[in-house]
Amino acid sequence: MPIADLPVRPLGPADLSACLELAAGRGWPRERRKWAILLETGRGFGVDAPDGGLAATAILTTTGPVATVSMVVVAQRYGRQGLGGRVMRHVLAAAGDAVVSLHATETGRPLYESMGFVLDGGCTDHRGRFDGDGGPVSRPIGPADVARVYELDAEAKGFARPQLLDRLLFEAEHVHVTGHGYALGTVHDGITMIGPVVAADEEQARALVRGVALAADGNLRLAVDDRAPALSAWCRDRGLAVHGPAPRLVLGGKPLPGKAGMRFSPYSQALG
């Protein structure tokens, strides 16, 4: 059977090891924790390789009226044979009427645009060790803050996502708050990923980044939304070097709900 005709099947937690092997083969880091969350909370789609393992994957995570596509990976030896398009068509069929977005690589962007995705900003990845500047610092979350975090998240996203937020809060090593903002710090393979950063203004976003960064005291990674160029410049000044852009595309150019001005950083490019 030609590789392009191999069936697309559901993926689940039992496929974690195979997904990690596929990603590693394309030079992606072995982000076990992130893959595990996505395979448990989203809907995975994959193609089994004739010579073993997986030939292609994609994951759709739907929360409320929006859906995020991530982990679109095709094994190098099966590249340019239509597998990326096949798994994407299954993903989009499963998304139904949701507003579908994704963060693209420059390699994958032409495929997504050919399927109707339209550029809608993006984020810039920053990595390094944080050099404090003595500014205001957020504080660790307390019991009285929990309800407010859920309110802020719903305001920023445009809908409530309690089940997913429950999981993200449980996974995070650091949860910090300000009067009108919150941020998480989650360790993946020894690097603290800061996000989401949700705040009423940039001053509070900086306080949240400072708080999580100082509490983590190690290597950091932070994807700053391109709508906040001043925050990105501040991160660079604080020692977090730029490691490349990630364009955000939305199917059909539909508007994403919520208050974009509050969304300074996603949890990850895979979850938004």
128: left (phi over 0), alpha (psi -120 to 50) or beta: left
Who's near 51: CB < 8 A, 6+ residues apart?
A: none
CB contact at 8 A, 207 and 136:
yes
The Cα-based distances of 37 to 64, 94, 167, 203, 239 in angstroms read 18, 19, 8, 31, 29
Domains, in order of start, for the chain = 3-97 (3.40.630.30), 124-244+256-265 (3.40.630.90)
**Cα 204 to Cα 206: distance, rounded to the nearest angstrom:** 5
Give, for all 272 residues of the chain, the pLDDT tens digit.
Answer: 677 778 999 999 999 999 999 999 999 888 899 999 999 999 999 999 999 999 999 999 999 999 999 999 999 999 999 999 999 999 999 999 999 999 998 889 999 999 999 999 999 999 999 999 999 999 999 999 999 999 999 999 999 999 999 999 999 999 999 999 999 999 988 999 999 999 999 999 999 999 999 999 899 999 999 999 999 999 999 999 999 899 999 999 999 999 999 999 999 888 87
Rg (alpha carbons) of the chain, rounded to whole number: 18
Nearest CA among 29, 33, 31, 37 for reference residue 12? 37
Nearest CA among 221, 147, 226 for reference residue 186? 221
